[in-house]
A and B are shown apart, each in its own frame.
Chain A
Amino acid sequence: MTIYAVGINHHTAPVEIRERFALSSDEISTALRTLHDGLLKEAFILSTCNRTELYGVPYDDVETDGYVLQDFLRNLKPEIQVEDKYFFKFFTCGAASHLFNVAASIDSQVLGDVQILKQIKDAYELSLKEGAADTILNTLLHYALRVGKRVRAETSLGIGAISISYAAVQLAGRIFDNIQQKQVLLIGMGETGLLTARHFADRGVQRFMFTNRTRSRAEEIAPKFGADVVDFSAFPDTLKEVDVVVTATSSPEVLITRSMIKNSMKGRYNRPLLVLDISVPRNVDPAAGSVGNVFLNDIDALQGIVDHNISKRKKELPKAGAIVSEELMRFFIWYNSLEATPTIQKIREKFERVRQNELERFRHRIDENSFEAVELLTHRILQKILHPTMRSLRIQTEDVTSLNMTVQVLREVFDLDNEAAEADDKPVKKTPPGEDNDH
């Protein structure tokens, strides 16, 4: 009952391969159906920009191994020709451990990535929809999602901005009370500037002003943010109205001087002004930062926030690792108990068969009421005899070697393997009235 985990991720394959290998929902659904019809009785595929991973439990009577599954995955996108070296393969304990690390966002390219848990949930739902998830994967994913939730609730692994643009928003949150009511001026339509504006919009900012040397470029992008467009030559006049200024241009000149800022502060009654100069070279005179109630932060300062947050996240790794270990142990206690379950069932069936056979022999000797009493009595005797054995098996699920030995011994002692064959052939012999076959 091996659990396989096979795939590519940011540790094993470069981004050019990963991004082309990412599967759509439809491709995943088709793959799951194919797997379920042939190789794997249970299958789950997680595909994001950083990983495409297949988890599965093979059918008992189907020969498979990691290479077979690797080839299956590779053949989903034959045009890419992914080499063997880009694939990883894990089995059972390694597979579960890897999945739990992914769910905990310990394995993410961005440590503490908060999106991965939703991605796992969505992939799980696809599996359920295709009927490809059953007992083992259901339980495995239940524990994986629990790991993710616990790490999020009990550690600070996912807290704090770890990109320049998000750090800008975090900084604004430390200055302004209600950021949704603030106005943001974006100078230049560079990628980082627009990403910063996007983060502000996600935090609820609704009022934007855009300006760019090429006005048409600003006019093209402004509708996506509901932004007003201002002439590049006129933007200094807007400094007294806005609360946040983001400069993201490739201009080598200083666009905002100290005197511009000082003059604007009079017009804005000294309300705080946050100036984020994420241009290289800088577009804002550093002396502007000395004006009272003006907060000037360049790309190095924002990187400082990012570095601080990354360092804090790394300190949370031991806590997250401990949670992963705890849940892994819980999962494998359950997983190991599956080994014992068939044996427990067979022992019960054997004893029950003996009981039923003997009861049938005695049925004709006693009246119905007494028979019911005897039936109850024999049932209770059986329970008392079997209880210590069953309990012993359940207790040992933490140690799989000891468990396997106990299971083997019990099967031999009770002759379960032969008993199974005989039980199918030998019917229960009913004793005719007057005869007694006990001696």
Chain B
Amino acid sequence: MISIFNYFLETILPIAYALVTLAYGLAFFRDNTYAAGWRTRLLIITLIAHFLYIGSHTAEYSRCMVTTPFEIMSLIAFTITATYAYIEYRTRSRETGVFMLFVAFLFVVVSSVMTRMPSVPNPVLEDNTVGIHVSTAIFGYGALAISAVYGVLFLILYRNIRRNTFGPFFKHLPSLESLEKLSVVAAAIGLTFLTVAMLVAMIWLPDAMPNFSYADPKLVITALVWLLYAAVLLSYYVFRIDSRRVMQLSVSGFLLALFSMTVINLFFSTFHRFI
């Protein structure tokens, strides 16, 4: 019964995300009042469905869904969506929804496509420390994704204003200062969680995998990501460099993180593969 329910939710989740992204998109780009009336309701329905999916998946496999890339991507999508829903609730601002939810939608679609379940879970994953590492990493990458989206929106609006083009981005997006602030705050939250994830891993790794190398591509790239985001925060709070450069750093950092989660994990890391 649970597996049927799980399969049902797994199938409708990408559809739900597609619908809610479409509603936010129509409201933003076409000023569609019908879509504007329905978008928040669809967001709540999608969040509930995703929450139920996490629960049913956990029930079906009797463990947390942190062991495969598809599971982690699904959790990142949920983190982005839940965080965005909270931002919308607090700020009453819905303009950035289409962009956030589009990123979440992509993660959900990729996670559905990459469905691959090991027949026997890797015993390494049964360690609670791994659970802490993965959870904090998920929150970290979710926040960095949000920071990157705000960074991209900042760069688009910045360019529109500089070029005197006044389309839907000019009309609907929050101000440049707001976008910059949101991006940097999200980056700070992301970096904090990422730091915890890295520290936990550094404590756990030598005992769990004595043969690992500090030159492993996964560790090198993760360190680079950390440095990039540290540079973002230093640039904004201390050196006060040009906002455009700060946002470009933020977006670059997330692209590198995405590269690490996918290509590096799948093809280059010697130990960060648990499938």
Chain B residues within an 8 Å CB radius of A270:
240-243
Set of chain A residues within 8 Å of B245, measured between Cβ atoms: 292
Interface stretch, picked from B19-27, B42-50, B138-146, B160-168, is B160-168
Q: Which residue of A lies closest to B167 (CB)?
A: A308
Q: Is the interface of B mostly helix, strand, loop or mixed?
A: helix
Range class of the B interface residue count: 20 to 34
Q: Tell me whether A304 and B242 are in contact in the complex, defined as CB-CB below 8 angstroms, given that A175-B176, A175-B177 are known contacts.
A: no
Interface centre among B31, B166, B242 (most CB of A within 10 A): B166
In the complex, how many residues of chain A place their beta carbon closer than 8 angstroms to a beta carbon of chain B? 23
Residues of B within 8 A of A174 (CB): 157, 161, 170, 173, 175-176
Contact B242 A293 (CB under 8 A): yes
Whether the pair A177, B166 counts as a contact (CB closer than 8 A) is: no
Cα distance A154–B32 in the bound complex, in angstroms:
11
With both beta carbons as reference points, the residue of chain A lying nearest to B161 in the complex is identified as A295
Bound-state Cα–Cα, A401 to B252, Å = 73
Residue B178 lies at the interface, judged by CB distance under 8 Å to chain A: yes
| Per-residue interface assignment for chain B, residues 158 to 202, with 1 indicating a CB less than 8 Å from any chain A CB and 0 otherwise | 000110101000110111111001000000000000000000000
Least CB distance from B270 to A in Å reads 42
In the complex, A201 Cα to B175 Cα: how many Å? Answer: 19
A431 interface residue per 8 A CB criterion: no
Q: What residue in chain A is nearest B33 (Cβ atoms)?
A: A154
Residues of A contacting B171 in the complex (Cβ-Cβ under 8 angstroms)? 160
* Whole-angstrom distance between the Cβ of B68 and the nearest chain A Cβ: 41
Among A177, A178, A304, which residue has the most Cβ atoms of chain B within 10 A?
A177
CB distance from B32 to the nearest CB of A (A): 12
Q: Within the complex, what minimum Cβ distance (angstroms) separates B249 from chain A? A: 14
Q: How far is the CB of B40 from chain A (nearest CB, A)?
A: 19
- Rounded to whole Å, the gap between the CB of A320 and the closest CB of chain B is 14
Task: Determine whether B244 belongs to the interface, using a CB cutoff of 8 Å to chain A.
Answer: yes
* B175 x A173 contact (CB < 8 A): yes
Query: Looking across the interface, which residue of chain A has its beta carbon closest to that of B236?
Result: A270
Which residues from chain A contact B174 at a C-beta distance below 8 Å?
177
For B242, list chain A residues within 8 Å (CB). 270, 292-293
In the bound assembly, the distance between CA atoms of A304 and B170 in angstroms comes to 12
Check B162 against A177 for contact (C-beta < 8 Å): no
Give complex CA distance A301, B244 in Å: 21
Q: Are A272 and B162 in contact (CB under 8 A)?
A: no
| Residue in B closest to A172 when the chains form the complex, CB atoms | B175
Give complex CA distance A174, B157 in Å.
Answer: 9
User: For residue B33, which residues in chain A have a CB less than 8 angstroms away from its CB?
Assistant: 154
A156 at the interface (CB under 8 A from B): yes
Interface residue ranges of A371-387 to B (CB < 8 Å)? none
Chain A neighbourhood of B240, CB < 8 A: 269-271
Q: Would A272 and B164 be within 8 Å (CB), given that A174-B170, A176-B177, A177-B178 are in contact? A: no
Q: Which residue on A lies nearest to B235, using beta carbons? A: A270
- The distance from the CB of A113 to the nearest CB of chain B, in whole angstroms, is 20
Known: A175-B175, A175-B177. A272 touches B243 (CB 8 A): yes
Q: Is A171 an interface residue (CB 8 A)?
A: yes
| Residue A305 is within 8 A (CB to CB) of chain B in the complex | yes
Q: Which A165-197 residues have C-beta < 8 A from chain B?
A: 171, 173-178
In the bound complex, how far is the Cα of B170 from the Cα of A188, in angstroms? 29
Q: Does A321 contact B (CB under 8 A)?
A: no
Whether, in the assembled complex, A236 has its beta carbon less than 8 Å from a beta carbon of chain B, the answer is: no
Q: How far is the CA of A108 from the CA of B126 in the complex (A)?
A: 72
| B243 near A171: Cβ-Cβ < 8 Å | no
**When chains A and B are docked, how far (Å) is the Cα of A289 from the Cα of B161?**
11
Whether B244 lies near A292 (C-beta < 8 A) is yes
Residue of B whose beta carbon sits closest to that of A179 = B175
Cβ-defined contact, A305 with B162, below 8 A = no
Rounded to whole Å, the gap between the CB of A392 and the closest CB of chain B is: 38
Scan residues 226-247 of chain B and give those whose CB is less than 8 A from a CB of chain A.
240-245
Are B166's CB and A305's CB within 8 A?
yes
A138-177 interface code vs B (CB 8 A; 1 in, 0 out) = 0000000000000000101000100000000001011111
CB pair B31 A272 closer than 8 Å: no
- The reply to whether B243 and A177 form a contact with Cβ atoms under 8 Å apart is no
Q: Is A297 in contact with chain B by the CB < 8 A criterion?
A: yes
Contacts of B243 in A (CB 8 A): 270, 272, 292-293
Q: Which residue of B lies closest to A153 (CB)?
A: B33
A156, A174, A271 interface centre (most CB from chain B within 10 Å) = A174
Are A177 and B181 neighbours in the complex by a CB distance under 8 Å? yes
> How far is the CB of A274 from the nearest CB of chain B, in Å?
9
A319 to B256 CA separation, bound complex (whole angstroms): 48
CA A271 to CA B175, docked complex, whole Å: 14
Residues of A within 8 A of B241 (CB): 270
A272 touches B244 (CB 8 A): no
Residues of chain B in range 30-75 having any CB-CB distance to chain A below 8 Å: 31, 33
The 5 residue pairs across chains A and B that have the minimum distance between CB atoms: A292-B242, A177-B177, A269-B240, A301-B164, A308-B166
A–B complex contacts, Cβ < 8 Å, 15 sampled: A154-B33, A174-B173, A174-B176, A175-B161, A176-B175, A176-B176, A270-B242, A272-B176, A272-B243, A292-B242, A292-B243, A293-B243, A295-B162, A297-B164, A304-B166
**14 extra A-B contacts, CB within 8 A, seeds A160-B171, A174-B176, A295-B162:** A156-B31, A175-B161, A176-B177, A177-B177, A178-B177, A272-B177, A289-B162, A292-B242, A293-B243, A297-B164, A301-B164, A304-B164, A305-B166, A308-B166
